[in-house]
Amino acid sequence: MRGRFTTTEDDAPFDIRKFGDPVLRTKAAEVDNIDGTLISVVEDMLDTMYAEPGIGLAAPQVGISKRLFVYDIGDGPHAIVNPVVEESDGEWVFEEGCLSVPGLSWDIVRPKEIHLTGYDLDGNEISIEADELLSRCFQHEMDHLEGRLLIDHLEGDTRKAAMRTVREMFLGPQ
């Protein structure tokens, strides 16, 4: 994958959409065509992800309501088009944050292992068995494609307190 990947936060190609932006609550549409335009978007998404810094970034987080995400958990940049979680197993609790709710994190329970399918930027089908951090990254980005945020995984008083904090941070005092 070609790309610049040397961007700083001040000159990132995209602004990260924050809590309250309707695109973050909208289910993303399938990608119909993998072409040069999409590859350019992926490169800009990677530049933006590295500038923040993050380990994953879904297209809705940059205002593009398409089923696409990029990630890098330390082994180089990747993109997955039209991903689907085929299977999941186990349970893993881990403190998780989000570029769309910056500065906040919570312990989130997710499946420990997943089987993800989708397409690479050459249009080839891919199938990935992921566990722990990679699995969590995939699930987090998949949530964005479904219009969900990590706070949707919280329950009870923790959810109420998180929603109050997030609303005050991003929407102002209520």
Q: Which residues carry out catalysis?
A: 141
Report the run of H or E that residue 62 belongs to, with start and end: none
Residues 90 and 112: beta-carbon distance below 8 Å: yes
CA-CA-CA-CA torsion sign (51, 52, 55, 61): negative
DSSP category for residue 12? -
Residues 40 and 89: beta-carbon distance below 8 Å: no
Distance CA 7, CA 4 (A): 7
